[in-house]
C-alpha cells in the first residue's frame, strides 16, 4: 500500500492566488481528515469527511477555505484567495473507522508570498 | 470543544535515561488518546495509543498511562536512544456529537543527549 498520497509536496504562490491541495487516502479507509501545522498553532483539524460526506468543518478558518471529496479516493482543499498567514504544512490523514489510527500523508508545505 | 495541554515543550535527557511527557484534556467524553512522533520534515506517525477502558498500555520501551478521573495521560520512554529524538504529540478524540477528529497538544521536543 502506498499510504496517503498528497500533492504537491511544496507550493509557493503569491498572495491573492488560488491554491489547490490534493489528497488520495489509503484504499478502504472511510474517513479523511485535513490538518494544518504551524509553529504558533501546532496541528489543527480543519475538516473531516466520512464516506465522502463532510462531517465537521468547524476548524476551517474562514470562507476562503473550502474542501471537497468527490469520491472515495480523492479530496481537495482549496484556498481562494490565499494570504501570507495561510503559510503552513497541510496534512491529509485517513483511517478505517473514526475511532482508529489515522495515517498521515507526507504533507504539502505551502508558502504564500 | 476539546482542549489538550502538553508539557514540557522541550525535554532533554541523557541517552539511556527515561523520558516522561504529560498531557491533560478537558472533555470528559474523550475516549481515545494517541501519541504521535514527528521527525524533522516528516509526517506524524502513531507510536502508541490508549482507550478509555484501559489504564495503561506498554509496547517495548514505550508506555502510556491514563487517569480518566484526573483527565490526564502520560507517555513514558525508557532506555532512551538517539533515534528517539523527535517532536512528540499527544492527542484526544472528542467523541461528543460524533466528532472524530483529533485535538493535538502543542508538542514536546525530545532531545537525547549522547
What's the mean pLDDT when you consider all of chain A?
95
Q: CA triplet A74, A86, A91: central angle to 5 degrees?
A: 35
A99 to B93: CB separation less than 8 angstroms, yes or no: yes
Q: Write out pLDDT tens, residues A34-80.
A: 999 999 889 999 999 999 999 989 899 889 999 999 999 999 999 99
Contact in structure between B5 and B23 (CB atoms under 8 Å): yes
- From B79's Cα to the closest Cα of chain A, the distance in A is 26
The neighbour count for residue A56, using CB atoms within 10 Å, is 20
Tell me what pLDDT residue B99 has.
57
pLDDT exceeds 80 at position B98: no
Q: A108: nearest CA in chain B? A: B43
Q: Which residues of A touch B (CB under 8 A)?
A: 31, 33, 42-45, 48, 50, 55-56, 58-59, 91, 98-99, 101-107
Q: Which residues of B touch A103 (CB under 8 A)?
A: 46
Confidence category of residue B1, pLDDT binned at 50, 70, 90 = confident
Closest CA to B106 of A11, A12, A100, A41: A41
Confidence category of residue A100, pLDDT binned at 50, 70, 90 = confident
Amino acid at each position: 500500500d502506498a499510504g496517503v498520497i498528497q500533492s504537491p509536496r511544496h507550493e509557493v504562490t503569491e498572495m491573492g492566488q488560488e491554491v489547490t491541495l490534493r489528497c488520495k487516502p489509503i484504499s478502504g479507509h472511510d474517513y479523511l481528515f485535513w490538518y494544518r501545522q504551524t509553529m504558533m498553532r501546532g496541528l489543527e483539524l480543519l475538516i473531516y469527511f466520512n464516506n465522502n460526506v463532510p462531517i465537521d468543518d468547524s476548524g476551517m478558518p474562514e470562507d476562503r477555505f473550502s474542501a471537497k471529496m468527490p469520491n472515495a479516493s480523492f479530496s481537495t482543499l482549496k484556498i481562494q484567495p490565499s494570504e501570507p498567514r495561510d503559510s503552513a504544512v497541510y496534512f491529509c490523514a485517513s483511517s478505517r473507522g473514526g475511532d482508529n489510527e489515522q495515517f498521515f500523508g507526507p504533507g504539502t508545505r505551502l508558502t504564500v508570498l | 470543544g476539546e482542549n489538550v495541554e502538553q508539557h514540557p515543550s522541550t525535554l532533554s535527557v541523557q541517552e539511556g535515561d527515561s523520558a516522561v511527557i504529560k498531557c491533560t484534556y478537558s472533555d470528559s467524553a474523550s475516549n481515545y488518546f494517541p501519541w504521535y512522533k514527528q521527525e524533522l520534515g516528516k509526517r506524524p506517525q502513531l507510536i502508541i495509543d490508549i482507550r478509555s477502558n484501559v489504564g495503561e498500555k506498554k509496547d517495548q520501551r514505550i508506555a502510556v498511562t491514563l487517569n480518566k478521573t484526573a483527565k490526564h495521560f502520560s507517555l513514558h520512554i525508557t532506555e532512551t536512544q538517539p533515534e528517539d529524538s523527535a517532536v512528540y504529540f499527544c492527542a484526544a478524540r472528542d467523541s461528543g456529537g460524533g466528532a472524530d477528529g483529533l485535538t493535538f497538544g502543542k508538542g514536546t521536543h525530545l532531545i537525547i543527549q549522547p
